[in-house]
Structure 1
């Protein structure tokens, strides 16, 4: 009994509460019994309007079974119970917590997200062992000063409340590593935040911040800073001195200039889309040695400097919805996996090239670097003219652009002369779109050693032949607007496939084989009848960045999909599910994933 002595001294009535009636009826005795053994109690989603006394007093009162004079085995001796260290009471209807919270001094995890709390009790200061506190999705307007007493706190989650300020002394939480204050009503960030020297992740998104304190640069361990959806017109130059920073989100603000980052040598992702940035200069790029993702969409950029080639690590570049009329040919030297150009008045690249995707655009730009001399088209035209059997084949495209193009012919089969025209030339792209094909031409297998892009969209395909599965260099496959309802498991052999477009077909589930193609980065399967996805298998797809499930038959979105943290674009509009609500969907992928993660049953 000595272990309970401290608590007993604070409550002289301990041991005499058996007759007390409380709300324990809503907590099965079996749960309480298990909690005394494990030290963990999960009361999530039990429609509780207040926390039963038997929960607060679980380590104080004698268990009910003991009062009933039940016999105890060696493993069930109640006086050897474990202190409660983890309490989850999320997804209930709690409007307040009582000071009885102090009766659980051993708590290391307290999760009360998704309730209706407007305040926290001052007794929270006595939870000195607390390491994780989740009070997200409540109605908190202020935080008690006593929260600064939780010196062992490592994770504090306050997102989706109504906070307008941070209490003085907050910097005393010097062990804090993860702090989320997004979706509140903050207008300022205290300069004292700089003393949070252990902080690794800070989320300030969706507040009303007009500026950031220069002192924020004092967070020497900070890796992830999210300031999306605020009112920032500039960021302090000191931000450029944060040597540990790896991810920086500044989307949906009022920035007019792109910051420079001379000391941020580890910066991997920079998101400054949906601002008012007009100039992208060499000075903005020269220090981004490690950058993998650069998001500049929805700004007012008019040009891209040749110095873009300095970003040799860059994998994703989003320039969509700017005022860019031309691109430097040197952009073709980058090894991009994704390049977005939609919504720009580009005049130097034909629309059909842009529509074919990233690799085709880069290939075109590279060809412009080489094409300084006269075009060989004269000799090509001569060859075409002397070969009547190939008069319908674009031989010029075969030789100069490495494209086998026989699109928009409304034909039911591809003539042999199309394949014959390839001869010994290298072909990297095939375009048989906008025809009446009911099956894939078997001779496509002749190109298996070289073709990387295949476009079979707008045909009448109802199945995929095994010949296509032999194109092991395939990276881009367009099968939209066909009659497909399944994919063969042999497609698993497409070990380099990065993008597949299955929109406007007849799929009722996400094809199983897609989960087994680890290189996939983009899956477009909108406008089908997909009713479910497997979040566990999806999580294993570590390279998947874009998933378009718009206009399908999804009745629910599994919360575990929120664990697919590599997703940068998740599109769910046009499905019959009720949650997440439209307001969440409008906030973008990061907000959707966070919403789903917060609802994963613990």
Structure 2
């Protein structure tokens, strides 16, 4: 069942609860709410009284057809403690309130296509988070708080202005997908190469001239099985050269081993 909102004063709290609970008939068996309606002028306060909600979609993308874009997340968001999925892509958000830290059951959070440059310290409380989408924002470095989310499997920070990846990225030991393309990276920390479960790493269109000497330790990156496993296009790579990188982790590891012994590659 879809839920539509219009202007103000259209729906009663009873009506809201009926609509939200009606979505439990979906195959995922989660109580969902997607904002719809071209006449929506502001976020209805009733949303934040629906404490049973597990999925909340406040993105104007695709079929939701919203013309209203959120420029501020109300602090009342912290009341929705049962949320598992929160979607806020393609809005005009410049900051996230500390109250988001109260959403400790959150597993997926999408904040792509906004105007974010910082995340609150309370973000570290989202320890059940598996999937985090921060693409196309204004981050200049990967937030330290993100590197404390030890259950992350998927992280997208592409299309930002990131120059720095903190050493603490090694904390993300479960990470399988890391998307860093279209940033301003000039180097990668050696600690990134300790992410042994990494299967997909996109680094295209940065300013990388070299890779860490232990890059070959990322043995689960497999160019042979999947051309999408990793991407280096658009970097001025010299050490190792692009043609070596295209050979995959084994070639990169061999390249650096030969350099250490002074042998020609």
Q: Report how far residue 263 of structure 1 moved.
A: 3.1
Partner of 1:297: 233
Which of residues 29, 44, 53 in structure 2 aligns to 1:121?
44
Distance 2:137 2:41 in 1: 18
Partner of 1:150: 80
Distance verdict in 2 for CA 1:57–1:51, change over 3 Å: farther
Moved over 6 A (4+): 305-310
Q: Deviations over 1:505-534 (max 9, x none)?
A: xxxxxxxxxxxxxxxxxxxxxxxxxxxxxx
Distance 1:161 1:83 in 2: 24
Structure 1: 5+ residue stretches without partners: 1-40, 61-81, 88-106, 313-326, 332-368, 370-602
Partner of 1:42: 2
TM-score with structure 1 length normalisation? 0.35
Distance 2:248 2:14 in 1: 63
Partner of 1:253: 183
Distance verdict in 2 for CA 1:311–1:58, change over 3 Å: same
Q: Deviations over 1:232-262 (max 9, x none)?
A: 1111110122111000011111100133324
Q: Secondary structure at the match of 2:33?
A: strand
Q: Deviations over 1:539-562 (max 9, x none)?
A: xxxxxxxxxxxxxxxxxxxxxxxx
Distance 1:118 1:259 in 2: 45
Distance verdict in 2 for CA 1:177–1:116, change over 3 Å: farther
Structure 2: 5+ residue stretches without partners: 24-29, 61-67, 223-228, 256-264
Q: What aligned pairs does 1:204-223 form with structure 2 within 5 A after superposition?
A: 204-223=134-153
Contact 1:122 1:144 in 2 (8 A): no
Q: What aligned pairs does 1:74-223 form with structure 2 within 5 A after superposition?
A: 84-86=20-22, 108-112=31-35, 115=38, 117=40, 119-137=42-60, 138-223=68-153
Which shifted more, 167-176 or 152-161?
167-176
Q: What aligned pairs does 1:37-436 form with structure 2 within 5 A after superposition?
A: 41-42=1-2, 49-50=6-7, 53=10, 57-58=14-15, 84-86=20-22, 108-112=31-35, 115=38, 117=40, 119-137=42-60, 138-260=68-190, 261-283=192-214, 285-292=215-222, 293-304=229-240, 311=249
Q: Deviations over 1:260-296 (max 9, x none)?
A: 324311000111111110113432x132021131211
Q: What aligned pairs does 1:446-595 form with structure 2 within 5 A after superposition?
A: none
Distance 2:210 2:89 in 1: 34
Contact 1:113 1:134 in 2 (8 A): no
Contact 1:242 1:263 in 2 (8 A): no
Q: What aligned pairs does 1:18-37 form with structure 2 within 5 A after superposition?
A: none
Contact 1:202 1:226 in 2 (8 A): yes
Distance 1:180 1:247 in 2: 15
Distance 2:213 2:146 in 1: 26
Distance 2:198 2:37 in 1: 34
Aligned length: 233
Distance verdict in 2 for CA 1:256–1:134, change over 3 Å: same
Q: Secondary structure at the match of 1:239?
A: helix
Q: Secondary structure at the match of 2:145?
A: helix
TM-score with structure 2 length normalisation? 0.76
Distance 2:209 2:115 in 1: 29
Distance verdict in 2 for CA 1:237–1:114, change over 3 Å: farther
Distance 1:265 1:145 in 2: 37
Q: Secondary structure at the match of 1:146?
A: helix
Contact 1:151 1:175 in 2 (8 A): yes
Q: Report how far residue 157 of structure 1 moved.
A: 0.3
Q: Report how far residue 125 of structure 1 moved.
A: 2.7
Distance 1:83 1:247 in 2: 35
Contact 1:113 1:136 in 2 (8 A): no
